[in-house]
Structure 1
Amino acid sequence: MSDDMLVKVQGLQKHFPVRSGLFGRVTAQVRAVDGVDFEIHRGETLGLVGESGSGKSTTGRAVLRLIEPSAGSVHFDGVDILSLDSGALRRTRARMQMIFQDPYSSLDPQATVADSVGEPLRVHRGLRGRARDDAVVELLETVGLQARHLRRFPYEFSGGQRQRICIARALAPSPDLLVCDEPVSALDVSIQAQVINLLEDIQQEFGIALLFISHDLAVVRHISDRIAVMYLGRIVEIGEAEQVYTQPRHPYTEALLSAIPVPDPVVQRRRDRIVLDGDIPSPLAPPPGCRFHTRCPYAMDVCREVDPPMTQMAGGGVACHLHDRGPRLDGRSVLEIEPRSRAAEPVHALKIPEIRSGGMK
């Protein structure tokens, strides 16, 4: 592991057993996370995006070992946290914290702000009494709250303020990694921008790495250095944020981008919107071959039979047969395929622009 690499995840799996019958025998497995690889560097933000049910939140919890992975490894600062005993894991957890989606349910309604934010200060840093309260006030001021909020309860705050309290609590043990699980999806749009800006300011001030989980590619693009796109328990594309956003290599990424609303109504009406057929398949029985082939507008015969490997290329990677068979995009954007909607003609007949050093022909 390189010096600037903080987290390295390899082959991460989390399967949930399905039990039935009188004796509760295991009859199936829900493959929520089914072989995930990624890295997070110090001070970097990796955005993890995908539809609901793609396994994003389960991945975040498995990385922190809030739930036990079924297989794979998670190296944090060179140490495989899956091999740690309870005492060592507790000490390591001071450096890995999580911000949950719902700020109200993640706070104890009967605990004051001083108690909620002060608990990790007591557990991990041994602060009590006045020293603890002073540290809590400093954390509150860091997230935009004040000392007068110290003795208040969660119900006395707005949703945005409660999320700021959760951020302060996550910062209390001085972590190196924050896993942000949809931290703004439950907030009003105007408040979302404030919280995103706050997380960016905190990252710059303290050099904290972020795993930012969201279904909103527009939000992820704003805060992320790199983006990983997840579908049905697998990462299908990963790369630099701007590259993923402007030149997507996977058809699923293209579809997600087309769903982002544009504030200009004229542009919104004229844009090419890709509507995927059906819902995301059940993780109980993922389709054979490429898991996206049942909804992909460019699906080929090979997609129904062979699971595409992650093809590494400049700035990231993509798991799609368009880059190793058929049109052979070889790392170029899927936007170059014409037409970019469900084709009446077979995909092997689609025209790929010829790329030369002088530009596109």
Structure 2
Amino acid sequence: MKKTILVTGGLGYIGSHTVVELQENNYDVVVIDSLSNSIREVAERIASITKMPIKLYIADINDESLIDALFKQETIDGVIHFAAHKAVGESVQNPFKYYRNNIDGMITLQKVMRQYHVDTIVFSSSCTVYGDTKNSPINETHPVTEAISPYGTTKLVCEQILKDLCRYSGFRGIILRYFNPVGAHPSACIGELPIGVPDNLVPYITQTAAGIRDKLTVFGNDYNTADGTNIRDYIHVVDLARAHVKALDYAFTMHQDYEIFNLGTGKGHSVLEVIKAFEQASGKPLPYAIGARRAGDIEQIWADATKAAQLLKWTHQYNLYDMMDTAWKWQIALNHKQSRQG
């Protein structure tokens, strides 16, 4: 029988792409989303790709009565947990919002899971737990460090909660620490939908190329890297979504335990390399200026994803050009939609 997977935050950027991959890999999907950082229309866009409906609950992950009602109504076999606030800067300005939503939401979810004997979960974590390290590539044995933002703190705390439940309460958990998700589905039906001014590099690039932003600011060109700009491990969102399905498959074969996996390409790219790749993919010159370093930015970090390749049988398929190409096509699709509405 097909297993039914609850995807929390399933209308968000990574969540929506993961729902597509789940449906295309013979899973039934139930989505819960509060619409705090997404729109209902994404459900229709997912269906346009997969030609399959999804069951959608609009609810807050912190509302225990609603989560309980969902588990009572649906037969859930496993959970992929994305539902969390994710803006580092906002977390500094409003830390209690992040503690309340991200940590309490994890507790509420796992409390109800335990009540209904659902013991399998894949948790969306982040490479931010490694802090400002000088030793890339980073593997999963690298020590985690004190977080540099309340957002990072919530990821560390949620990881620990899940580890404890796996050790003492019979859960089977997968913690996925991913690096920098970018790009969009090749159909251009779903992609990143930042609210307001983007915090991340690639949507700022595409909005600048589309004329929504005047220019991109590159924060510092005096780092100890080949061209002086920060280096990150960028991974295509579809590759990331595929990894969540592989992780779920693996979790169902585990006994009581947890595993941690890095998800990245294993290669770092500088900000200027990303800009060059975008210009090649789009055929458009990108206006940018060099600015001062931004407080809290890490100089360089990229993943060692060997463990994911060995145990999950997962490797990335998209390169940097593909990432920029799909991101730009998604921006074009958004522009066309907005012009029709206007």
Structure 1 and Structure 2 fold alike (TM over 0.5): no
Q: Which has the higher helix share?
A: 2
TM-score, structure 2 as length reference: 0.27
TM-score, structure 1 as length reference: 0.26
Structure with higher Rg: it is: 1
Q: Which has the higher strand share?
A: 1
